[in-house]
């Protein structure tokens, strides 16, 4: 039992360590785009800006590791009619080198919160198990050496990475095109947790936030993002990933 427990514990700790060290990546816009669009940069991270149905749309794609993706979306309604933006209608699909594709999982805000809370609870439970395993191993070792054990305080610390991204509310200032020169439009609406939710945009209004996406690493040669805007989809394509510094 001793020989079996120790390797399992070592592999568990290694898994936790590797998951906590996932690289932060951003994705380059592909050279060929389905819609007329412009590449813009904020803090060195590229995004794509397009105009669809009288609306200005900007997207930026980043990730933590190969699966946990953040689709940053900014929409300004420059048309003369109101419409409702539905983040759960966003579609993302990945392509492999052979041209085959697969849909990515796109989370609604509340769906992602539930998913993350469940994941965090499982991780926390795993850390408790690992802590107990550590105590048992220490007991075994001290028993083997013929010495007594003195556990003292066996506190453990679980550190959450929050929502997995850092949000900068000034990004929109670099993304938007003022309707009047030298007169930037008012800031966009956003939620307290920065996750995009259903929002009605009246003429002149804007919204900005994150749509969480779960990628499939085997389908990441190219990534097609489709954002519903005023009755149609704005399309953006990203490809090569680059590590953030």
Mind listing the pLDDT tens digit for each residue in 129-176? 555 555 545 455 545 444 433 333 333 222 233 344 445 555 656 566
Convert the pLDDT of each residue in 174-191 to its tens digit.
Answer: 566 555 445 667 789 988
Per-residue pLDDT, averaged over 42-62, amounts to 91
Residue 237 predicted with pLDDT over 50: yes
Numbers of helices and strands, H then E, in the chain: 3, 13
End-to-end C-alpha distance for the chain, whole angstroms:
44
Encode pLDDT of 60-116 as tens digits: 999 988 899 999 999 999 999 999 999 999 999 999 999 999 999 999 999 998 988
Average pLDDT in the chain? 77
- How would you class 157 by CB atoms within 10 Å of its CB: exposed for 0-12, middle for 13-18, buried for 19 or more? exposed
Lookup result for tokens 């590797």: 18
Statement: residue 234 has pLDDT above 90 = yes
pLDDT digits (tens, 9 = 90+) for 77-90: 999 999 999 999 99
Domain range annotation of the chain: 2-239
């Amino acid at each position: 039992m001793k020989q079996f427990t120790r390797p399992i514990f070592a592999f568990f700790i290694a898994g936790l360590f590797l998951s906590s060290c996932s690289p932060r990546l951003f994705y380059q816009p592909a050279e060929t785009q389905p819609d007329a669009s412009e590449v813009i940069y904020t803090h060195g991270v590229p995004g794509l800006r397009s105009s669809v149905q009288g609306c200005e749309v900007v997207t930026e794609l980043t990730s933590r590791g190969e699966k946990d993706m953040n689709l940053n979306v900014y929409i300004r309604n420059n048309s003369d009619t109101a419409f409702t933006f539905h983040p759960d209608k966003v579609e993302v699909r990945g392509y492999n080198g052979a041209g085959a594709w697969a849909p990515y999982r796109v989370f609604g805000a509340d769906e992602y919160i539930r998913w993350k809370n469940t994941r965090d609870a499982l991780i926390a439970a795993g850390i408790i198990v690992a802590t107990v395993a550590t105590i048992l191993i220490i007991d075994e070792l001290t028993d083997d050496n013929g010495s007594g054990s003195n556990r003292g305080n066996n506190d453990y610390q679980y550190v959450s990475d929050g929502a997995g991204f850092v949000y900068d509310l000034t990004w929109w200032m670099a993304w938007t095109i003022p309707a009047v020169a030298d007169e930037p439009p008012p800031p966009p609406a956003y939620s307290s947790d920065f996750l995009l939710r259903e929002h009605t945009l009246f003429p002149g209004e804007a919204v900005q936030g994150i749509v969480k996406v779960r990628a499939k690493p085997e389908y990441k040669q190219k990534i097609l993002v489709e954002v519903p805007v005023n009755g149609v989809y704005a399309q953006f394509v990203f490809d090569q990933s680059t590590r953030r510094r």
